[in-house]
Amino acid sequence: MKLKRATKFVAASSLLLLVLASCTSASTSSDSTGNDSTTDTGTDATAEVMEPVEIEFYSLAWQEGAIASHEEIVEAFNAQSEYVTVKHVQGDWGAIDQLLTTCFEASNCPDVFHFYDTGLRSYAERGNLVDLEPLMSDDFRASMPESAWATTQFPGTEGVYGAPFLMENRVILANKDIMDAAGVVAATVDDPWTWPEFRAAAAKMTSADVDGAGLSLKGSGGVNGIIKLALSVGGEYVEDSSGSWKTVMGPNELALPKMFHDMIHLDGSMSTDLLGLSGTGVNTLFLQGALGMQISGDYMRSQIVAANPDFDWVVMPAPVGISATQPNSAQTMSIAGGSENSAASMEFIEFALNTENQVKLALGDWLIPTSTAAVESAELTSGDYWDVSLKLAKNLEYAPWQGLATFDQWRGAVTPAWFDYLNGDSSISEFTSIVIELGDPVLAKMN
């Protein structure tokens, strides 16, 4: 590799700071002992640092556009870097937890890995992750709001353990032709539907061949999606106000499950047949014209655009209650604690998540960038089906349960109770009792 002095110095600045600190230490030591080899020690250390470095980046991109954007960013970094080469490794969301558990034990993890905010906590607590705070530049920290950085800082730990870069809104994706035929006026960011208005619209859009709305309880958007939406009506489901975590199933927490139950069993505007489908399965029915609306994550827009259905469709904000707030959970990039090249890894992360590249990542995944400048970029704001999602970014806030290490386990434990209740197999009082009975033992691990 042919190195150019000027660009080499700029590219390696973060590493050279570490070298200078090392040289200063060596100088102090030699001064105190009368050793006159300080110059040689500094020269040798600098020469060693300037040797080419290769780091691994483990990507979890899964949509075709997202994979392409990750590969493009790695290629662009390698083309401009004089001493660091990034090796792109394509990973799998289904295998990442096992990979991290195994590689941390063996101390051979990828230097930089793609993950999600709440999943980082247990690894941060075990000391498996590098604190990014002393490595990142001030400009990089300022490029994203503190509410985004809060997703990778955890109670009981000191530091920032991931760089957040993509967030998700829950939105309504609706068949505009069915809406028009039913006389339903679309919701807007400035005039969103309330939850009763959503229910009424679904009833109007229901016919012999069409369910007004669809809901899946499977996958990351299932029960998790409802819990996210419940924040708009004040539902939190877990709390630690008494000094220990416990499950909460009050009126705010029951508002949405009861409404969805009544839409299925009283209004007939939703079907139990959809509860066991994946989000993609629900979207397939939507594309076939058998479903008037679905509440999904932003990313589902990409699948509809790719399918190019023969009907008009619109993106609308999720219904609101006391607020339009949704949790700002984020995808992340982190540095493994065993990495021998943490400064070079941080340099790659800052490049990968600069404004220009966050726009690329957002376009690839159809999610919302955390970079303030990226959210306002013309490339996104002028794109089809982007306007609503970008405007909703201001409503994303840190939720009380996002820092709870056992929340994913809690959600998994209580999910069967949601299926039983929405299927009509249990009453709301039984649903309440079972969720508490299944959830509290999981939360006890935190106490």
Q: Which stretches of 150-247 are DSSP H helices?
A: 176-182, 195-204, 223-230
Cβ proximity of 233 and 195 under 8 Å: yes
- Report how far residue 184's alpha carbon sits from residue 310's, in angstroms, rounded to the nearest whole number: 20
Contacts of 10 (CB under 8 A, 6+ apart): none
**Higher per-residue pLDDT: 156 or 187:** 187
- Report how far residue 31's alpha carbon sits from residue 28's, in angstroms, rounded to the nearest whole number: 5
Q: At which residue do the structure tokens 């229901």 appear?
A: 206
DSSP 306-326: HH--SS-EEEEEPPBSS---E
Q: What pairs with residue 369 in β-bridges?
A: 166
Q: How many helices (H) and strands (E) does the chain have?
A: 21, 14
Model confidence over 249-299: pLDDT tens digits? Answer: 999 999 999 999 999 999 999 999 888 899 999 999 999 999 999 999 999
pLDDT at residue 220, as a whole number: 66
- Report how far residue 27's alpha carbon sits from residue 8's, in angstroms, rounded to the nearest whole number: 24
Mean pLDDT taken over the chain: 88
The neighbour count for residue 142, using CB atoms within 10 Å, is: 10
Given a cut of 60, whether residue 112 has pLDDT beyond it is yes
pLDDT at residue 30, as a whole number: 37
| Confidence grade of residue 402 (pLDDT, cut at 50, 70, 90) | confident
Cβ proximity of 331 and 165 under 8 Å: yes
What domains can be seen in the chain, in order of their start residue? 53-168+329-397 (3.40.190.10), 170-327+406-444 (3.40.190.10)
Which one, of 39, 112, 58, 47, lies nearest residue 83 by Cα? 47
221-245 average pLDDT score: 89
Rounded to two decimals, the pTM is 0.84
Q: Tell me the residue type at 279.
A: G
133-159 average pLDDT score: 94
- Report how far residue 193's alpha carbon sits from residue 191's, in angstroms, rounded to the nearest whole number: 7
- Report how far residue 216's alpha carbon sits from residue 277's, in angstroms, rounded to the nearest whole number: 6
Model confidence over 381-392: pLDDT tens digits? Answer: 999 999 999 999
Tell how strand 53-59 and strand 112-116 pair up.
parallel
pLDDT at residue 35, as a whole number: 40
Contacts of 263 (CB under 8 A, 6+ apart): 199, 202, 203, 212, 213, 269, 270
Q: Tell me the residue type at 77.
A: F
pLDDT at residue 18, as a whole number: 40
Q: What is the CA radius of gyration of the chain?
A: 25
Given a cut of 50, whether residue 129 has pLDDT beyond it is yes
47-60 average pLDDT score: 81
- Per DSSP, the three-state class of 200 is helix
Which one, of 239, 256, 313, 260, lies nearest residue 283 by Cα? 313
pLDDT more than 90, % of the chain: 75
The one-character DSSP state at 327 is: E
- Per DSSP, the three-state class of 331 is strand
Strand order in the sheet with 368-369: 84-90, 53-59, 112-116, 330-335, 163-167, 368-369
Cβ proximity of 164 and 332 under 8 Å: yes
Contacts of 165 (CB under 8 A, 6+ apart): 330, 331, 332, 333, 352, 353, 358, 361, 369, 370, 371
How far does the chain reach from its first CA to its final CA, in angstroms? 54
Which one, of 318, 315, 320, lies nearest residue 366 by Cα? 315
- Report how far residue 117's alpha carbon sits from residue 264's, in angstroms, rounded to the nearest whole number: 33
| Confidence grade of residue 86 (pLDDT, cut at 50, 70, 90) | very high
Percentages (nearest 5) of helix, strand, coil residues in the chain: 50, 15, 35
Q: Please state which of the ranges 4-8, 157-161, 206-210 shows the lowest mean pLDDT.
A: 4-8
Cβ proximity of 138 and 283 under 8 Å: no
- Report how far residue 198's alpha carbon sits from residue 234's, in angstroms, rounded to the nearest whole number: 18
pLDDT at residue 51, as a whole number: 80
pLDDT at residue 334, as a whole number: 98
Model confidence over 333-380: pLDDT tens digits? Answer: 999 999 999 999 999 999 999 999 999 999 999 999 999 999 999 999
- Report how far residue 447's alpha carbon sits from residue 444's, in angstroms, rounded to the nearest whole number: 5
- Dmax over CA atoms of the chain, in Å, equals 93
- Per DSSP, the three-state class of 332 is strand
